[in-house]
């Protein structure tokens, strides 16, 4: 098994592993994920006709699972353009989740999701910046 070759790669791998794991949890036990996200869990027998919560959970969990695979593949191949791309879009995700909470569309627990995305973006961005500077110094001194 190949491992990431850089700190930035490891940040991507950790996020990918978590996305894959949480996607699998959502597919197998969607109620567990709903509780983690701060939503009320309504038993299937009590759901109203036209309630697509379980359908949405399956679709978003599958997307999370797939995203986890993409991130892990990018981490082991050290695909740096992808790393940078994730920094930008994880910051966008941070803003979107923050706005959803502020607008009371999402529960306050989503602030944690926003913080996780923002922290992950910053850590990956800093790692990329430091690694790029270090590579530049090595090239100039060599």
Report residue 61 as tokens.
């969990």
Q: What is the pLDDT of residues 83-124, one digit of tens each?
A: 999 999 999 999 999 999 999 998 888 899 899 999 999 999
* CA nearest to 30, candidates 14, 45, 18, 41: 41
- What confidence score (pLDDT) does residue 22 get? 96
Q: Does residue 15 contact residue 71 with C-beta atoms inside 8 Å? A: yes
Q: Residue 39 — very low, low, confident or very high, per pLDDT cuts 50/70/90?
A: confident
- Tell me what percent of the residues of the chain surpass a pLDDT of 70: 96
CA atoms of 72 and 19, how far apart (whole Å): 10
- What confidence score (pLDDT) does residue 104 get? 95
CA atoms of 28 and 61, how far apart (whole Å): 9
């Amino acid at each position: 098994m190949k491992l990431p070759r850089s700190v930035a790669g490891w940040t991507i791998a950790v996020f990918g592993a978590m996305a894959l794991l949480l996607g699998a949890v959502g597919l197998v036990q969607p109620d567990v994920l709903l509780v983690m996200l701060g939503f009320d869990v309504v038993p299937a027998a009590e759901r109203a006709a036209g309630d697509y919560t379980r359908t949405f959970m399956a679709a978003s969990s599958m997307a999370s699972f797939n995203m986890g695979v993409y991130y892990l593949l990018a981490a082991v191949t050290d695909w740096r353009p992808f790393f940078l791309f994730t920094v930008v879009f994880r910051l966008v995700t941070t803003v979107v989740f923050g706005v959803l909470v502020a607008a009371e569309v999402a529960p306050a627990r989503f602030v944690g999701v926003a913080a996780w995305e923002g922290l992950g973006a910053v850590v990956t961005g800093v790692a990329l910046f430091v690694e790029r500077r270090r590579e530049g110094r090595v090239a100039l001194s060599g």
